[in-house]
Amino acid sequence: MPKVHDRGGWPNDDPIDHTEHKMEEWERLVDALNGVLGEKGLKNTDQLRRAIESLDLKTYESLAYYEKWTAAMEILLVEQGVMTTGEIDAKMAELKAGRS
């Protein structure tokens, strides 16, 4: 059984979806953040791929493209000790509270 990301030749009868959605600003920033972290030598493409590939099948298939990047970036930043999941949770709560 190939890994979740190894898709060449997987049975798939779905028509190719030509819908193009306008990129959200948060996605544009995730894309950019990925580039910045790469430029600073804090991550590389292979690490990002490895992190995405570690997602379970259900998550891999249900998350949108930049949602997967966000999950992967968290894995990399936490494993490198740059931040903890707890810190991210707390910051999310803070941002949410600031908005209500």
Partner 1 sequence: MAENGHNPGHEDGHGHGENAEYYSLRAEAMQALLIEKGVCTLDDILTMADKIDSRSPEDGAKVLAHAWVDPEYKKRLLADAESALLELGYDLPETAPKLTVLENSDEVHNMAVCTLCSCYPRSIIGRPPAWYKGLAYRSKVVVDPRGVLREFGTELDDSVQVRVIDSSADFRYLILPKRPAGTEGMSEEELAKLITQESMIGVAQALSPESVRAG
Partner 2 sequence: MAGNAKYQPGDRVRIRVGVPPTHFRTPEYVQGKQGRIETLWGAFPNPESLAYGGDGLPAQPLYQIEFAQTDLWENYKGAATDTLLIDIYEHWLENI
- Regarding 8 and contact with partner 2 (CB under 8 A), the answer is yes
Task: Locate 77 and state its tokens.
Answer: 């930043």
Instruction: Find, among 30, 22, 98, 37, the residue nearest to 67 by Cα.
Output: 30
- Regarding 11 and contact with partner 2 (CB under 8 A), the answer is no
- Regarding 47 and contact with partner 2 (CB under 8 A), the answer is yes
* Torsion region of 27: left, alpha or beta (phi above 0 gives left; psi -120 to 50 gives alpha): alpha
Residue from the set 46, 95, 96, 98 that interacts with partner 2 by CB under 8 A: 46
Contact residues for partner 2 (CB under 8 A)? 2-3, 6, 8-9, 44, 46-47, 49-50, 53
